[in-house]
């Protein structure tokens, strides 16, 4: 890792490395799944550095409104630097206790934060609470690890090199990749009309080394778990393990599908 990397916040690292490689593509997909349209008010829960909120802002137009809420002030600091066609209201707060009145929004969206919520059922109840009657919800999570072949290979390599604890930390973002499990949580939250659909996406890094370097910098997966020598071993062996996903120019690409929960709030 360069000295410049150590000076950046985890949120800045996330926005620079992971957003273009994984998450930028999903903003418009999740917003569309929620039926985001001109003149609407939209809430992005666990907004992070603002990828989805910015996509929604482009869709609602000058008469619409967008808010983003996240518990991490560093994430919000990066989000506030983003330029959008509609001003976004960035708020500190957690998904389990949203800082908005009942029925405030036409659409509530969230991408790739649900897996890390402390109480997923409570979070869904809160999202439904702040929706107006007839409003739509869309929540994206990573699909199961075995549907993302490049990451599945990397997880197996981590297990082989460093054991189950490290491999399990890497698997954490894929913990909700079960449609039936997601529907069960929705039912527990009182959302009876939920649907879960799979959408294909891709992961793209400049090289296998770039992927490993990104994971090294990520405090939510491998950051702090491996020392320099261990990352050296991982880097050396990842290039060979990930060769099936390596293009002629050395870049890396593989599928990473998402599951998207959608639901509409009833009139009652």
**What CATH number corresponds to the domain at position 155?**
3.40.50.150
Note whether 137 and 108 are within 8 A (CB).
yes
Residue 220 has pLDDT above 80, yes or no: no
What is the domain range of residue 126? 3-264
Reported residue count of the chain is 268
pLDDT at 2 over 70: no
The rounded distance, in Å, linking the Cα atoms of 67 and 245 is 38
pLDDT at 6: 52
C-alpha torsion sign, points 61, 62, 63, 66: positive
Higher pLDDT, 218 or 21: 21
Model pLDDT, residue 1:
37
Do 159 and 188 contact (CB within 8 A), yes or no? no
Number of folded domains that form the chain: 1
**Distances 68 to 28, 52, 111 between C-alpha atoms, Å:** 15, 9, 12
- Burial of 46 (C-beta count, 10 Å sphere; 0-12/13-18/19+): buried
In the predicted structure, residue 152 carries a pLDDT above the cut 70: yes
Neighbours of 66 (CB within 10 A): 31
pLDDT digits (tens, 9 = 90+) for 52-101: 999 999 999 999 999 999 999 999 999 999 998 888 999 999 999 999 99
Quote the pLDDT of residue 5.
43
Cα–Cα nearest to 115, from 173, 71, 61: 173
Residues sharing a CB contact under 8 Å with residue 257, sequence separation 6 or more, in sequence order? 143, 147, 148, 198, 199, 200, 201
Q: How many angstroms separate the first and last alpha carbons of the chain?
A: 54
pLDDT of residue 95: 98
List beta partners, residue 108.
43, 137
Q: What is the mean pLDDT of the chain?
A: 93
């Amino acid at each position: 890792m360069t000295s410049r990397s150590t000076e950046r916040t985890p949120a800045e690292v996330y926005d620079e490395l992971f957003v273009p490689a994984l998450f930028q593509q999903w903003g418009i997909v999740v917003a569309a799944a929620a039926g985001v349209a001109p003149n609407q008010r939209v809430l992005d829960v666990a907004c992070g550095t603002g990828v989805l909120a910015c996509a929604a802002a482009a869709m609602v137009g000058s008469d619409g409104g967008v808010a983003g809420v996240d518990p991490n002030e560093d994430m919000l600091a990066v989000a506030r630097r983003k330029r959008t066609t509609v001003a976004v209201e960035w708020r500190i707060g957690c998904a389990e206790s949203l800082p908005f009145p009942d029925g405030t929004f036409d659409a509530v969206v969230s991408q790739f934060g649900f897996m890390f919520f402390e109480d997923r059922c409570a979070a869904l109840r809160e999202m439904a609470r702040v929706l107006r009657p007839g409003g739509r919800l869309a929540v994206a999570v990573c699909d199961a690890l075995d549907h993302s072949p490049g990451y599945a290979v990397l997880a197996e390599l981590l297990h082989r090199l460093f054991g189950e604890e490290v491999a399990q930390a890497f698997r954490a973002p894929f913990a909700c990749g079960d449609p039936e499990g997601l529907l069960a949580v929705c039912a527990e939250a009182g959302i009876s009309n939920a649907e879960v659909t799979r959408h294909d996406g891709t992961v793209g890094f400049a090289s296998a080394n770039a992927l490993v370097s990104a994971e090294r910098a990520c405090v939510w997966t491998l950051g702090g778990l491996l020392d320099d020598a261990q990352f050296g071993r991982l880097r050396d062996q990842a290039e060979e393990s990930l060769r099936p996903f390596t293009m002629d120019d050395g870049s890396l690409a593989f599928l990473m599908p998402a599951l998207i929960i959608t639901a509409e709030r009833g009139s009652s």
